[in-house]
Amino acid sequence: MSDIDLFSPFQIGPHTLKNRFAMAPLTRNRASREGVPGPMQVEYYRQRAGAGLILSEATCISPEAVGYPFTPGIWNGIQVSGWADVTAAVHGEDSKIFCQLWHVGRISHPDLQSDGQLPVAPSAIAPAGETFTYEGVKPFVTPRALETGELPGIVNAYRIAAKNALSAGFDGVEIHAANGYLLDEFLRDGSNARTDAYGGGVDGRARLLMEVTEAVCGVWGPSRVGVRLSPVNPFNDMRDTDPRATFTRVVELLGRFDLTYLHVTELGRDAPGAAGPFFDPLELHKVWKGAFMANAGYDKAKANAVLAEGRADMVAFGVPFIANPDLPERYRRDAPLNTPDPATFYGGGEEGYIDYPALD
């Protein structure tokens, strides 16, 4: 046990964080239809800059990467300009902010694609369930399997998005390889049935993530790049025959980059076995030699315990930050928390977004 807690400063790469709170990436569906963050987003992130590190909501790397209405992008100059206002507001509150780079893969829908095309994926395997479009809820479609020759273009889209994030004033980037989106779809054998160099064993299925990581590190340097994984999360109809072996090897492969942190979500604990034979995702810290961020269902006591035990170096909070813009200060004072309103989590205006009261 150590005396490290949520309020202990922490160094990630070149950045000294004022505490070990991370604000988790939270899709809120309030950007413009063109994927541009506006004044509401500036205020939303400014309010929550008590966190040592803010992880932006998942941000689409290209038009093809879009999978939900009113989600932000970072593939053009207007989007970059909108994000620049956000990063300036966060820096004005003495916090750091990373941009989470996102391609949804098969979770998109033709209604969300610029020319009505099919979403892309490692394999033509449709997820079970439905998705949200501008025309309402619709069933998932069977995606188009990416050709081997198309994958360098995917890597380049991540590279361009990383450059745009640098221009927007972010302090780093997080590669979203979790929760059933494109890179996660490649990692898990329930969604990747390829027989080329990007399929088969774990090394093949992890190849695209490694190429994306190399490209993004080429823009930022590894000390300002993190990766997010979700080994046991069944969200978006995801599964793997051996999650422990798959993700242990993925973490070993990522280890050669000397990244600033690994962000592992423990979502799936409430449905053990749904995504494949269950194991504790925090076990991956034994393989990972760098900074390790835990995520999913933490409160102050649980977070301080996992930090003191050395099982994580930072803890990401999601829903508590939605309802409590001043979450670190509330935890510092042991003050009551605001009650979140799930009806306003996704879409809408200021209500349930920037109108939750702070303590003072």
Which are the catalytic amino acids? 181
Q: How many CA atoms lie within 13 A of 175 on its CB side?
A: 31
**Nearest Cα to 289, choosing from 330, 240, 255?**
255
**Nearest Cα to 328, choosing from 18, 99, 117?**
18
Q: What is the dihedral of CA 31, 80, 65, 197, to 10 degrees?
A: -150
Evaluate whether 96 touches 17 at the Cβ level (below 8 Å).
yes
Tokens representing 32 are: 């413009």
Q: How far apart are CA 273 and CA 49, in angstroms?
A: 36
Tokens representing 108 are: 């998109």
Evaluate whether 112 touches 67 at the Cβ level (below 8 Å).
yes
**Nearest Cα to 283, choosing from 256, 306, 303?**
306
DSSP three-state, residue 251: helix
Distant-in-sequence, close-in-space partners of 319: CB < 8 Å, separation ≥ 6: 340
Q: How far apart are CA 33 and CA 102, in angstroms?
A: 17
Q: How far apart are CA 234 and CA 238, in angstroms?
A: 5
Helices and strands (H and E) in the chain: how many: 10, 15
DSSP three-state, residue 21: strand
Q: How far apart are CA 123 and CA 194, in angstroms?
A: 6
Q: What are the backbone dihedrals phi and psi of residue 6, each rounded to the nearest 5 degrees, phi first?
A: -60, -25
Q: What is the dihedral of CA 116, 120, 126, 132, to 10 degrees?
A: -50
Q: How many CB atoms lie within 10 A of CB 125?
A: 16
